[in-house]
Amino acid sequence: MEAALRWASRGGLLSGSFAYTYLDARDLTDDRALAYRPRHLVAASAALRPGSVEFGLDYRYAARVERVQVWPDDERVAMSVLDLRAGYRFGRYAVLFSGENLLNYAYTTIERNLEPIRSFSLAVQGEF
């Protein structure tokens, strides 16, 4: 089951989205949960755009997976990630800043593969 909501204020000053997915993915031959499939997924986003400036937050959550294949004794945890973005546009150019995984949450989606830790980036963008 999936549900999604997107909204925006008149003029686009505020906008946001929310999505939820419920999975009950099962192997029909032995009635076990499929590997690496979280039961609950949530994604939420909000943005503020006053004039040439933009600020935004993104949040992602995935419940602890019930089953893995390679390392069954390896402890699983839920995923909870918060990202931030900010930008300023002037003419055909923009300066963009982003911070990903701000809470520095250590998690994996597949055993023994650590997902990206906290990082920051600054970019200058131009249209020609």
Q: In which band, very low, low, confident or very high, does the pLDDT at 109 lie, cut at 50, 70 and 90? A: confident
Average pLDDT of the chain is 90
Q: In which band, very low, low, confident or very high, does the pLDDT at 50 lie, cut at 50, 70 and 90? A: very high
107: which residues sit within 8 A by CB, 6+ positions away? 77, 78, 79, 80, 81, 114, 115
Amino acid at 64: R
For residue range 56-82, what is the model confidence (pLDDT) as tens digits? 999 999 998 888 777 767 667 788 999
- pTM here is 0.83
Q: What's the confidence (pLDDT) of residue 125?
A: 94
Q: 84 is in which domain, residue-wise?
A: 2-126
Q: What's the confidence (pLDDT) of residue 74?
A: 66
Number of domains making up the chain? 1
Q: In which band, very low, low, confident or very high, does the pLDDT at 83 lie, cut at 50, 70 and 90? A: very high
Q: Does the pLDDT value for residue 117 go beyond 70?
A: yes
CA distances, 116 to each of 10, 67, 71, 75 (Å): 36, 22, 21, 19
